[in-house]
Structure formats: structure tokens, C-alpha cells
Amino acid sequence: MFFKEDTICAIATAMIDAGIGIIRVSGEKAIDIVSKIYIDAKGNYSLKKYESHTINYGFIVDNKKTQIDEVMVSIMKAPRSYTKEDVVEINTHGGRIVMETILNLLITNGCRLAEPGEFTKRAFLNGRIDLTRAEAVMDIISAQNTFAMKNSELQLGGALFNKIESLRKEILYEMAFIESAIDDPENYDLTGYDERLSKKNKAWIESIQKLINSSDEGIIRKDGIKTVIIGKPNAGKSSLLNKLAGEEKAIVTEIEGTTRDVIEETVRLGDFVLRVMDTAGIRDTDDKVEKIGVERAVKYAKNADLILYIIDSTDKSFSEDFRIKEIVENNHVIILLNKNDISENISVLEKDIFDLYGNDVPVIKTSMIDETGIDELKNIITDMFFDGSINPKEEVYITNIRQKEALINTYDSLKKVEESIDAGLSEDFYSIDLMNAYAFLGEIIGQEVDEDLVEEIFSKFCMGK
């Protein structure tokens, strides 16, 4: 299946100065190639004599037998390896120069530099893991919070694969039964079959719907809540970003229009992540650069998961911000009534905000000087996006758009089966939509994918994985 049989190599650890660096080699000639540049303490060059899953002490030498580094070499022989091929891992000192030198020696002696994700792609193509597990590998590497890590570990352990494979087996059984009954009606009785299939189909639809429903929360928990801070100039937007980030990410001055473009920052609040965008103050302006910044602020706000609208509590004209009112309507919005430390100048009260936006909009009194309101903001976001509980249920969540789309297609196919049953159509009509559902589920685990999709998925991986 669109597979390259040559031996590949790559640096599997970060290219930084560190105590250890690992260079991974996989393929039919992995042991032979590494043997050309490896010598043990007794002067032996061959690694073939060593047992699988052993770690061996020795040295890497160049073609002139000059020592490059003192190393530990791990040997994992096929099929008991990550890729189900012969795999050799060279544990060297983690300097950039020494790792690159060894990598170049491997290439000179017959290896090819691995493509992004090619080790995991080989594990998938060789049948060691399915596509959900392969994607979980990258999700673990890129996890930004505990939820993302735990959910990826569940998928890596086969939680999603087992659900999908179980559904496919049940659907396949019904497809086979229908085909057998159509071909051999004397030995297969379809009396009452519509009712039996309808009951099973409803259970499948419910199971698929549950997975689809998990995706909105799952994707937000994994990737973060796309959050846009808006407000008039000098309301405290950049100060809020700095407080959330815990450092000075945005310039804060008393000059209006200081922020002219969108500043993005990933912020962790407890066990969830905000992808925060600080925007230009929204106002009418003749400054061309600032005007572009205002237009971008409006654009990003309209596509946000969450809007943090900051109002200066000393601003007597806040109710005239009709442009902002239009943006925040029909969106997830939290209003921060800022500068409450300036008690003698406060002119905007919570009542004024409720009169303009209604009582359902959460309002928090804040001060960027004494940092009041930040804990309350965290609690409101938890209620708004996670039903009041920051800890997700102990079940697998869909956190992948590709998987979600395949589930939606599966759901639509099963709904068509339901419609056919309700309409009293013959059983051969069911088979078409059951086959489609079976195929869409196969896309999730990699049973029904083409080469282009595989290449796209694994191109997002890091080089050594």
C-alpha cells in the first residue's frame, strides 16, 4: 500500500544542546547500515549478534575509523518494534553538531532522511496501529493541557478504535445478512427484519451522535478557546492580555491607538487554554494603519468562540458604542467592567450594562491594577464552555475535525437507513446506505483512505516521529 521500502533515519529529539540526543533508523537494512559506523568496546563492528530489545555500549566512528562519540545503541528487531521493521536508536550526546554528524554518516552509508511522520506512517501501513492511534501520537506530542494528553492516551490505547471497529462489525453483519437473504430467500427469513434492524440502527445513531456531540467540547479543550478581547481604546485590553499571560506581551500606554494590530497569545488558565487575541481599540479613525487594525478586530471578533468585552467604568459615553454592540450580540461574550479601583470617577454601573445588553450577559468588575476579577473570569468560562466542571468525563472525546466529518457522514447515512425503513422500502435499499456508513467509519481508523489523505495527515508530524 503506497509504501517505500528503503531505510530511513532522523533525529528524534529536539535540536538543542542537551544531555542526550536520539537518532532513529528504521528499515530492512537498519542494522547493517548502523554496523558500518558502530564499534563496540572490543573492536567489533556488527550489531547482528545482539539480541532484540537490548542496549549496547560502543562508539560511532567515521569512514576513517575516527571516533565521533561514545554512544548507547538500542536494537529492536522486526516485527517487535514501533514500525514493525528493524529499528536502531543511537543514544548520543545531545549536541547539534554531533547529532548532525552521525545523521550525515548514516545517509552516506545508505539511509534516506525520513519524511515528517514517516516512522509513525510505517507503523500504520505495517498494521501496528490504526489511524486514530497514529493521530493520537502527534496529539500527545503537541498536548497543551492535561485533558489533551489524557484524551490522546485513551485514543492511543485503542478507546476510539474499539468503538468504531465494534460498530463496523455490527453493520457488516447486517449487510451480510441482507445480501444472503436476497440471494437465498429459502434459507433466510426476512419476516420482521425491518423492526429488528430499526432497533439496532437507532442504537448506532445514538452512539454516533454521542461522539459527534463530544467534538465541540473536545476540540475546544484540546486546541483552546479562540478568545478575542475588544473594547474602545484605553479600556484595558492590553493590560488584560498581560495579566492573563503573566508577562508584558503587549505595550500599555495612555496614548489611544497604541495597539494597531492583532496580538496573539496562548494562555493557560488552570486546565484549559485560551488562544487570546488582543485587538486594536474599536473607534472611528482617520489613521490608515489604525483603521486596518480596527477592521481586523471586528473580523476576528465575529469568528471568535469567546469575546471579552472590556468597558472603562469611567467612560460616560460607553452606551454609544453601537458598533461594538452589534459585534457582541449573538456571541459568547463576557463583559469586564474595568478600572473599578478608580472609585471616585465611576460612571458605568452593572445596571447600565444590563439595560443595554440584558441580564443574561455575565458582567465582572475588574481592575488591572489590583488584578481583581481574574478568578471570577475563569469560573464563568468554566460554566460557559464546560458545564461548570473543568474535569472532563472519563471517556474518549473527538478532538479531530477529520474524524468529526467522517462521523457526520456516518450519521447521515444511518439516518437514510432509518428513512428507508420508515418508508417501507425493500432491504436492498438499506444495503447501500449501510455500506456508506461502514466506509465512513473505515475512514476514521484508516481502513478506507487513499494515499493523498495519508500523506496529508502524516505531513503534520515532526521529522523524527
Residue range 214-252, pLDDT digits in tens: 888 888 878 888 888 888 777 788 888 888 876 554 444
Mean pLDDT confidence for 101-106 = 95
Q: Where is average pLDDT lowest: 44-48, 72-76, 81-85, 350-354?
A: 350-354
Residue length of the chain: 465
Say how far residue 189 (Cα) sits from the centre of its chain.
47
Give 353 or 284, the one with higher predicted confidence. 353
Residue range 39-68, pLDDT digits in tens: 988 887 788 889 999 999 999 999 878 899
CA pair distance 459, 116, nearest whole angstrom: 5
Mean pLDDT confidence for 181-209 = 87
∠ CA 245-249-250, nearest 5°, is 125
- DSSP lists the bridge partners of residue 272 as 269
Residue 347 has pLDDT above 90, yes or no: no
Residue range 78-90, pLDDT digits in tens: 999 999 999 999 9
What percent of the chain has a predicted confidence (pLDDT) above 90? 35
CA pair distance 106, 25, nearest whole angstrom: 9
pLDDT band of residue 442 (cuts 50, 70, 90) is very high
Give 96 or 289, the one with higher predicted confidence. 96
Q: Where is average pLDDT lowest: 7-11, 260-264, 321-325?
A: 260-264
Give 271 or 265, the one with higher predicted confidence. 265
pLDDT band of residue 318 (cuts 50, 70, 90) is low
Mean pLDDT confidence for 203-207 = 96
**Strands 54-61 and 67-76, sheet pairing:** antiparallel
Give 360 or 124, the one with higher predicted confidence. 124
- Give the three cell numbers for residue 80: 517487535
Predicted model pTM = 0.74
Give 239 or 439, the one with higher predicted confidence. 439
CA pair distance 302, 288, nearest whole angstrom: 22
Provide the pLDDT for residue 425.
Answer: 86
Do 337 and 363 form a contact (C-beta atoms < 8 A)?
yes
Name the CA radius of gyration of the chain, rounded. 29
pLDDT band of residue 161 (cuts 50, 70, 90) is very high
From residue 26, how far is each of 4, 85, 107, 187 by CA, in Å?
12, 6, 12, 53
Residue 231 dihedral angles phi and psi, to the nearest 5°: 155, 175
Give 402 or 325, the one with higher predicted confidence. 402
CA pair distance 323, 313, nearest whole angstrom: 18
* Nearest in space to 153 (alpha carbons), one of 140, 166, 172: 140
Mean pLDDT confidence for 325-337 = 79
Mean pLDDT confidence for 431-460 = 84
For all residues of the chain together, what is the average pLDDT? 83
Give the N- to C-terminal CA distance of the chain in Å, as an integer.
20
pLDDT band of residue 331 (cuts 50, 70, 90) is confident
Provide the pLDDT for residue 1.
Answer: 41
Cell 506530542, located at residue: 141
Provide the pLDDT for residue 282.
Answer: 63
Residue 328 has pLDDT above 60, yes or no: yes
Q: Which domains does the chain have, with CATH numbers?
A: 8-129 (3.30.1360.120), 136-219+400-446 (1.20.120.430), 224-386 (3.40.50.300)
- Give the three cell numbers for residue 39: 564499534
Do 273 and 398 form a contact (C-beta atoms < 8 A)?
no
